[in-house]
Chains A and B, each alone.
Chain A
């Protein structure tokens, strides 16, 4: 086991429940690097999640405090926790289905309120833990378990959505950009406000099998790499390219939600005390 896994993870959960070659573990390894480089201890960070492959692994393996909410509701629980324990860092690690589908309204309003948590949306382009159905981030035309003739619905970019809603830090990377992901997660955690990091990663088991026609771990990772670069190994252009990098950085530019509420609480108390005195 690598040093950071020994330092931060729960030994009883290793090996993890993820399939072989699944990108979830890579991203988690980079989250650990960001946490370590920021000098954070197990006690300083709370991991939270909803339901799904991403959630199951990441919440189960973190050695410090963690919680598993119902599908799409991680941010509702995180809001309560942040109000109760404002000094902790929160990593809310959820899937694309969780963040961009069933939990979108929680996502939007957490961004609007500038809740001080970092959401890592780990995007395998579908509902993979339930067998590979399409989600709002499945690329147009791609075959999934529930789109045998190809994805016909238009998708959306969750980064655009949270930015429009008021998130103060928004970024996107993929599972072939580890230096960039570590750097970006550190910035996200340093923002005292709502940070959103969208990371695409390979799911060999379902997305790979349905959309790419292969469970070959190397081919699946290669596909992510090509769509990050916009170019295939043979030099031709890919059908689309993900735009990665920091999309919006207004870190620490407006008050964090739990502070706003505590300030208001103090004002109400002062007001009540003044009235009781008269």
Chain B
């Protein structure tokens, strides 16, 4: 389900060149990243983290187009997206 239309059209790069890192130990499982990502990069873990949430993880990094929507919307500073090799 798309969460809502982004305020601005995300700039799209080619897929496959992005590192998507989720800080799983600090994720509170709001689900925003999962629902705003246009290319289904994220999925839920089946085991809780140490603060009791079932966190998000990067399931399909290869799909990522670097639009940064997940980074902008995460309320818990969990997500970093960068060009592979740059970080």
Q: Which residue of B lies closest to A18 (CB)?
A: B75
Interface code B1-35, partner A: CB below 8 Å = 1, 0 otherwise?
A: 10110011000000000000001001011111001
Within 8 A of B (CB), among A112-149: none
**CB pair A178 B7 closer than 8 Å:** yes
Q: Which residue of B lies closest to A21 (CB)?
A: B30
**CB pair B78 A2 closer than 8 Å:** yes
Interface code A187-230, partner B: CB below 8 Å = 1, 0 otherwise?
A: 00000000000000000000000000000011001100100000
Q: Is A78 among interface residues, defined by CB-CB distance under 8 A?
A: no
Task: Among B35, B53, B76, B79, find the residue whose CB has the most chain A CB atoms closer than 10 A.
Answer: B76
**CB pair A15 B3 closer than 8 Å:** no
**CB pair A217 B31 closer than 8 Å:** yes
Q: Is A45 among interface residues, defined by CB-CB distance under 8 A?
A: no
Q: Which of A26, A29, A218 is B31 in contact with, Cβ under 8 Å?
A: A218
Main secondary structure of the interface of A (DSSP, over half): helix
**CB pair A29 B72 closer than 8 Å:** yes
**CB pair A21 B75 closer than 8 Å:** yes
Within 8 A of B (CB), among A149-193: 176-180
Q: Which of B31, B32, B77 is A9 in contact with, Cβ under 8 Å?
A: B77
Interface code B61-87, partner A: CB below 8 Å = 1, 0 otherwise?
A: 000000000011111111110000000
**CB pair B74 A29 closer than 8 Å:** yes
Q: Is B51 among interface residues, defined by CB-CB distance under 8 A?
A: yes
**CB pair A218 B7 closer than 8 Å:** no
**CB pair A25 B76 closer than 8 Å:** yes
Q: Which of A4, A15, A221 is B76 in contact with, Cβ under 8 Å?
A: A15
What is the minimal beta-carbon distance from A149 to any residue of chain B, in angstroms?
A: 31
Report the bound CA distance from A1 to B16 in whole Å.
22
What is the minimal beta-carbon distance from A220 to any residue of chain B, in angstroms?
A: 10
Q: Known pairs A2-B23, A9-B77, A179-B8. 11 more at Cβ < 8 A?
A: A2-B71, A2-B80, A15-B76, A16-B76, A20-B28, A25-B74, A176-B4, A178-B7, A221-B3, A221-B32, A222-B4
* B-binding residues in A (CB < 8 A): 1-5, 9, 14-16, 18-26, 28-30, 176-180, 217-218, 221-222, 225
* A-binding residues in B (CB < 8 A): 1, 3-4, 7-8, 23, 26, 28-32, 35, 51, 53, 71-80
